[in-house]
């Protein structure tokens, strides 16, 4: 690692670009996993897909390795280095001579070209090569966009034809039966993989009789698509095909759901997704295997790396790290009650990543603003702010412990953190029943993560009592209240009239009543108000809408004012991305 630029003086993309000189060919990474040639699907020299079915068939009798989830405290708008910590832990365990893999989520083009940047990690703890990782990878998100938008093409063209033709004409022209879709109850929208606030609310079908059906519509960001959720939770192609036909696109005029199967588009949607079902294989800066599969945004989506990636990795290694989005109230809760429920896998340990920066923010320091300089208050020692902010950390530790999992707190150290601030975090986290490890992986790579690696191995070797928060027999509104009270710390739940009606309808439907619950909520607070830091008290969760993701297998209560389409800021990253026209190298992705 001494060959790489100093992370305290160089941006992440400079380090990633320098590291490419030392990258191992992806065949060598595959060799660490004992993959056979026919199980490796090459996408150039340094990226591949894995034929998961062949691997699982070959290793079906092999016991699984230890399973570790990486989550975090409530982040600042800048993020707190969860992907960086996942890469650091991977590298640290590699330094200990352990056979280990990690699965992280594929970045969206939205944040990559906006304020936050990519999600490859940072400093000397990254996933590489950075440019293909960040810009489309092997086309999974493109496949998701095509599959999802094909459903909208099928829906809107069907509505146009049903308006233009009688029942007899529909039967004669195409054998169609009238679905009688209610244009005011179309649940699906379009997707694009950018943050495009101007597309949140649109009117489509303007023009003449043959220019489509005129109605209000919308766009969401690609990773919020139910198709992305289906990719994350599918067990195999047959499971994906079954789920694809259960996507609810809207309702007919009598209130019955209209699905992709009713539109006869589910088979074609699945055809777009066949290759995307195979996990992508990359590497860390120190040459350990990294799976990249499924999507980010646990605040507006399931936010998990895929079940398939985890199942494959657990068969091939002794330890496997998987990443859940944002804080434990969001990403870990969905890992706990959705992903583990669907996969049947039981974790041995969960990591809660914390930074002194975020703890100060929760303790009273000014909230950092992406794209602007860090407030000067963060540059000096303030143990009082850290101590107050640790209430948020303890809340997340308690959430992990409610799942019966052994928690490890990773203090993701910045070189500006002081010994007194770090000591206070240790004191309070250990008092809450967690192991604590200081890790300097950002600055020193795997060598800086040895304490972290040892703490995780110790936690994995202790028994746990993993248990789900709720049974699917529990009515929907009771489940929402359980999550609100037990995970977020709310006093209760309030509903808009529309959400209340939707909840009652779903509870009365035997099929919908058995679906899981995937909350949509701000990631910047335990509450539904992003301005409330620390551990808010005396508040109630407000549910303004409830969506149906029948194919993914859950309903989606939407809390507060959060949108499924983020907005682009005033100083976006795309202003600094360019191409060297002589070499073809992309510059400025971070």
Give a yes or no: residue 288 inside a domain. no
Give the C-alpha separation, 341 to 353, whole Å.
24
Helix (H) or strand (E) run with residue 155 in it: helix 140-164
Q: What is the CATH number of the domain that holds 240?
A: 3.30.1510.10
Under a CB-based contact definition with an 8 Å cutoff, are residues 542 and 528 in contact? yes
Number of domains in the chain: 2
CA dihedral 291, 294, 297, 298 (to 10 degrees): -90
Give a yes or no: residue 49 inside a domain. no
Give a yes or no: residue 358 inside a domain. no
Give the C-alpha separation, 302 to 588, whole Å.
29
Give a yes or no: residue 247 inside a domain. yes
Give a yes or no: residue 422 inside a domain. no
Give the C-alpha separation, 487 to 530, whole Å.
16
Model pTM? 0.95
Pick the closest to residue 520 from 294, 354, 329, 249 (CA basis): 329
What is the domain range of residue 520? 476-559
Q: Tens place of pLDDT for every residue, the chain, 590 residues? A: 568 999 999 988 899 999 999 999 999 999 999 999 999 999 999 999 999 999 999 999 999 999 999 999 999 888 888 999 999 999 999 999 999 999 999 999 988 999 878 888 999 999 999 999 999 999 999 999 999 999 999 999 999 999 999 999 998 988 889 999 999 999 999 999 999 999 999 999 999 888 999 999 999 999 999 999 999 999 999 999 999 999 999 999 999 999 999 999 999 999 999 999 999 999 999 999 999 999 878 888 999 999 999 999 999 999 999 999 899 999 999 999 999 999 999 999 999 999 999 999 999 999 988 778 889 889 899 999 999 999 999 999 999 999 999 999 999 998 889 999 999 999 999 999 999 999 999 999 999 999 999 999 999 999 999 999 999 999 999 999 999 999 999 999 999 999 999 999 999 999 999 999 999 999 999 999 999 999 999 999 999 999 999 999 999 999 999 989 999 988 898 999 999 999 998 988 88
Give a yes or no: residue 332 inside a domain. no
Q: Which residues are tagged catalytic?
A: 82, 84, 105, 116, 298, 326, 414, 442
The domain boundary, picked from 275, 309, 326, lies at 275
């Amino acid at each position: 690692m001494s060959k790489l630029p100093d992370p305290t003086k160089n941006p992440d993309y400079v380090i990633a670009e320098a590291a490419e000189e030392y990258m191992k060919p992806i065949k060598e990474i595959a060799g660490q996993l004992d993959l056979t040639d026919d199980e490796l699907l090459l996408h150039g020299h340094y990226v591949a897909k894995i034929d998961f079915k062949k691997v699982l068939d070959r290793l079906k009798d092999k016991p699984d390795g230890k399973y570790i989830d990486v989550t975090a405290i409530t982040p600042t708008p800048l993020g707190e280095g969860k992907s960086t910590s996942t890469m650091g832990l991977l590298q640290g365990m590699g330094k200990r001579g352990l056979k280990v893999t990690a699965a992280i989520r594929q970045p969206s083009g939205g944040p990559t070209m906006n304020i936050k940047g990519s999600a490859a990690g940072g400093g000397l703890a990254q996933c590489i090569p950075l440019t293909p990782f960040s810009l489309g990878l092997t086309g999974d998100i493109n496949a998701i966009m095509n599959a999802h938008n094909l459903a909208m093409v099928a829906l809107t063209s069907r509505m146009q034809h049903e308006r233009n033709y009688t029942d007899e004409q529909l039967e004669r022209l195409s054998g169609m039966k009238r679905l009688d879709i209610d244009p005011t109850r179309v649940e699906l929208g379009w997707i694009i993989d950018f943050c495009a606030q101007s597309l949140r609310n649109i009117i489509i079908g303007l023009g003449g009789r043959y220019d489509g059906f005129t109605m209000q519509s919308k766009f969401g960001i690609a990773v919020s698509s139910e198709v992305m959720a289906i990719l994350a939770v599918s067990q195999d192609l047959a499971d994906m095909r079954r789920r694809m036909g259960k996507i609810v696109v809207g309702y007919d005029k009598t209130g019955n759901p209209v699905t992709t199967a009713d539109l006869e588009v589910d088979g074609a949607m699945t055809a777009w997704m066949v290759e995307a079902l195979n996990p992508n294989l990359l590497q860390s800066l120190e040459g350990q295997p990294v799976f990249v599969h499924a999507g980010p945004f646990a605040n507006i989506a399931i936010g998990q790396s895929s079940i398939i990636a985890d199942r494959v990795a657990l068969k091939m290694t002794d330890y496997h790290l998987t990443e859940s989005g944002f804080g434990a109230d969001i990403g870990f809760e969905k890992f706990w009650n959705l992903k583990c429920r669907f996969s049947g896998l039981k974790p041995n340990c969960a990591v809660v990543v914390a930074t002194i920066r975020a703890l100060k923010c929760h303790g009273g320091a000014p909230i950092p603003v992406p794209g602007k300089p860090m407030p000067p208050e963060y540059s000096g020692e303030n143990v009082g702010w850290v101590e107050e902010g640790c209430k948020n950390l303890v809340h997340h530790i308690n959430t992990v412990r409610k799942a019966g999992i052994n928690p490890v707190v990773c203090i993701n150290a910045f070189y500006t953190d002081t010994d007194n601030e770090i000591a206070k975090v240790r004191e309070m986290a250990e008092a809450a029943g967690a192991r604590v490890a200081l890790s300097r992986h950002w600055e020193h790579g795997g060598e800086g993560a040895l304490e972290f690696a040892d703490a995780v191995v110790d936690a994995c070797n202790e028994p746990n009592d993993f248990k789900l928060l709720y049974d699917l027999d529990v009515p929907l509104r009771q489940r929402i209240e359980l999550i609100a009270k037990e995970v977020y710390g709310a006093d209760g739940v309030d509903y808009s009239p529309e959400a209340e009606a939707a909840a009652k309808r779903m509870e009365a439907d035997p099929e919908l009543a058995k679906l899981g619950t995937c909350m949509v909520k701000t990631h910047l607070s335990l509450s539904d108000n992003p301005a409330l830091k620390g551990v808010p008290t005396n508040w109630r969760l407000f549910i303004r809408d409830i969506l149906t993701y029948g194919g993914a297998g859950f309903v989606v209560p939407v809390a507060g004012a959060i949108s499924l389409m983020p907005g682009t800021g005033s100083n976006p990253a795309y202003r600094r991305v360019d191409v060297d026209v002589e070499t073809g190298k992309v510059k400025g992705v971070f």
